[in-house]
Amino acid sequence: MLKLMLSRCLLFVLTFLYLSENLHAREIIHTERSLYRNMSVLKERGMRCLIFESRKESPPYQTCVDLRDPKKLVFSYTRLILSGLIYRPDVDKILVLGLGGGTLPMTLSELLPDAHITSVEIDPAVIKIAREYFNYSDNEKRFSVAQDARLFVKRAALNNQTYDWIILDAFNGDYIPEHLMTQEFLQEVKTILSDDGFVTANTFSSSQLYAYESATYHSVFGDFYNIKNKLSGNRIILATKQASLITVEVIKQNAEKLAESLSVYGVDSMQLYRQLSTDKDWDTDSRVLTDQYAPANLLKRQ
């Protein structure tokens, strides 16, 4: 009898702890409706996250910060984007298209304190949330612009501005701005790259879009590096203005030199090096995406 009572008590305690944990697992800190989307900032499992709400049951997370280890990059794609550093660690001018919570430009500022970093975000509400909830801030070398990325690129070209590293991070798991994945747009991006500049694009490693997007990048930049995480479905395209890519030997040397500094952010530089590939693992006869033919969201769902 005593044993039965103890078992029931233990079951009650475990059930109470489980329910308590799940009731408090997600705390909504802030909600906002902008001209572009509904957004929420929430706290769960020791992290503060920004989500863009949609009709999906599980809307995409844009940014998460581990409150126990704020420097650690939570998302796989953010860590993969830093492959740009092992490709060329001496960049001076960086353009980030898409801000989210501002984790990426803040990290780059710490790693490259002398670099000038411009972040472009179409939604002013996102910039405000990044400042209020994710410790993003502007200074004399790091600042944000509320503007459509393509318009910014067009105006930069007219003003003869160039950048050493352009990061395309305006996509999410729910939606692709199709005008930022066309041959014409990539040609505009290439125009504002410095002579030895390069672009890293955060995109996807599966679906029919893979071949079309690959063909589009190849039509503008020629051969490029793929950096993929098969488990997460993330893919980074690293393409350069010059026809030739930096050799893997040089990239390996850079990865070895940066191993300690990148580990602070949860990034394994040698793993990034090992994930680099120039294989043309797509149907090279795939149609190129253009301003007249850009069904990126449809292709991603197939």
Pairing of strands 47-52, 38-44: antiparallel
Examine the residue annotation and report whether 195 is marked as an active-site residue of this protein: no
In a 13 Å sphere around the CA of 88, the CA atoms on its Cβ side amount to 21
Query: Which H or E run includes 156?
Result: helix 149-158
Q: Which of 66, 92, 114, 169 is catalytic?
A: 169
Which amino acid is located at 175 in the chain?
Y
Distance between first and last Cα of the chain? 59
Give the active site residues. Answer: 169
